[in-house]
Structures are given as C-alpha cells and as structure tokens.
Amino acid sequence: MGCLLDGLVIKDQSGFFSVEAEDGHIYQCRLRGRLMEEAQSSDLAAIGDRVHMRILEDGTGTIESVAARTSTISRAVRTEGNRGAGGPEREQVIIANADQALFVFAATQPRPNFRLLDRFLVSGEKADLDHIVIVINKIDLDKQAKARAAFAVYAQLGYPMLYTCALSGAGIAELKARLQGRISVFTGPSGVGKTSLLNCVQPGLGRAVKQVGRVSQEGMHTTRDSALIKLDVGGYVADTPGIRNLTVWDVEPEELDAYYVDIAPYVGACRFGDCSHRSEPGCAVRQAVDTNVIHRNRYQSYLSLREELEQAYALH
C-alpha cells in the first residue's frame, strides 16, 4: 500500500503538487480520487498546505488528507466566458497557512498609492494573518522624509513598518530576520524593487520568485504555477498573484468595515446596525472622521472600496 508521510505543499501546477517531506525529500503527488471530486468547488490543496501523503512504488505519491488551515488567501475564479466575464463561482486558494504578509511599496518612483495599500491590508486582514508588515523601499530617495510622514498613519494603526534600500542595504538585516523561519507572502505593485530586495536577502531569490509567480486565466481553465521558495535562513517566501491583482474577494459590502482596523472599533456605536457610514444619522464612524480620530483619507478609501463591492454584488 506504500508508506505514509507528512509534508508541505511547496508547488502547485495544474493538479500536480510538489510536497516536501520532513526529511527534505520532495515527492510529486496528486490528490486521491475522492479529494479530486471535492476539489471541483474549491482548492483542497494549495501551496502552504500541510498534507498526509501515501508514497507509491514508482516514487510518486497521492495526497490522502489535508490538515486544517490556520489562514487562507483566496480569490474567486470566474468559470464562464473569457477574461473575467461571468460570475465568481469557485474559490481558488492562492496560499494556505501563511504566517505573514509583507506589502512592499516605494517611498517614491513610483509614488505610493495608498488606496492600493488599503486594499492589500483588507486582503491581509481578511486572511487573518498573524503578521502584516508594510515595507517602504527606496527610502534613500525620501530626502525630505515626506514618505515617512505619509505612511505615519499606518504606523499609528499598529502595522509594523520596515524602511529599506536595496542599494545601500538599509533595513535588509531586519527584513531577513522577519522572513526567517516563516511562510511569507511578499508582494506589492510593480516597480517598487521587490526583486532587488529579495536578491539582497538571498542571491537569486528574487529571480526564482518572479519565475513562479505567474497566473493566467481563460474561460473555465485556470493555469497556475505557484511555489514556495525555500530560504537559506529557514522559512519560505511566495509571491502571490491573487493579492497582486488586488480584487478583494469574498468580502460583502456590509462586512468591509470589519477589515479597516481604524473603523471597526466604532461600528458598534452607530445608531443603526446596518449603517453604511455614508449619511445615516448617529454614525459613530463619521463622527470619528470629523474629529480626526479616523484619518479622512482612510475613510474615503473605505467608501470607494465599498461602492465597488456593492456594484460587483449587484451584478450577481
């Protein structure tokens, strides 16, 4: 019947899984028949999953079971039409059991997009990650400390901030320490220097992540080549296409306020339980904005994203 081993899924490509056993050996596996049927509605195995596998005579394996997840970053896959036409009907798990997300932005070149950052943070809060870190790269270009001042609101919200420069090496030791021993999501908009930072952490790491961070989707078929890259200092890093695309999935408009950590504490004090925080009387959130307890830009970011979600749900 073959021996049974526990392992970590480190690569997922078109229904084939590379699973690293505790001794470091990597087995090529597929889901057993029963699990393949269940996987039609959601990904039962994804990178980051802890699995129980049976090793076959030819040296390959079958995944017999998947351990309960501590966190999940997912997106819905549109299963009909071309390039996003149709409705989201199937969950695609981008990564399971990530310990932390590091969202990388540049101090300038490109200029930081804070609405985009807020979407990253909502995605991280939705995934219920243990750690969400904001990395500000190219800090050497912030000659007048304008970027530090602009990002100060996020530090005040309690998000750890890491200021780095791939050229000078500033912050690299702390970045390496944060990655060590953890499964990390490392992502952000293009042009902010993610690859350079990863190469500072480990030579060739940025290139390896870039090669496996591809996702394409056409009609009913989704081709994915996702992987965890092992770090020399211990731990794994993955670039996650689902987060990079920045469509917030599986968040209803009415629950969005729960994922804005500055807005959430005031929701319960609103006069109406279904308050949208737009124009309802007795809105504690708007009062907190008016008294500068909640930053107005964050509030506007919330309103913009909520309107987008309402439009999306109206279509389905």
245-to-107, 119, 214 alpha-carbon distances in Å: 21, 10, 11
Q: Are 132 and 101 in contact (CB under 8 A)?
A: yes
Q: Are 250 and 311 in contact (CB under 8 A)?
A: no
What is the reported pLDDT for 90? 64
Average pLDDT over residues 77-96: 60
Q: Which CATH architecture has domain 98-215+227-244?
A: 3-Layer(aba) Sandwich (3.40)
The percent of residues above 70 in pLDDT, for the chain, comes to 85
CATH class of domain segment(s) 253-314 = mainly alpha
Residue 14, pLDDT > 90, answer no
Residue 304, pLDDT > 90, answer yes
Name the residue ranges covered by the structural domains of the chain.
4-68, 98-215+227-244, 253-314
Q: Which amino acid is at 208?
A: A
Pairing assessment for the beta strands 61-66 and 50-55 based on DSSP bridges: antiparallel
- Which tokens sit at 229? 């890259």
Q: Which residues contact 43 (CB under 8 A, 6 or more apart)?
A: 91, 92, 93
Average pLDDT over residues 119-147: 94
Given CATH 3.40.50.150, say whether it is the number of domain 4-68: no
pLDDT category at 239 given cuts 50, 70, 90 is: confident
Residue 87, pLDDT > 70, answer no
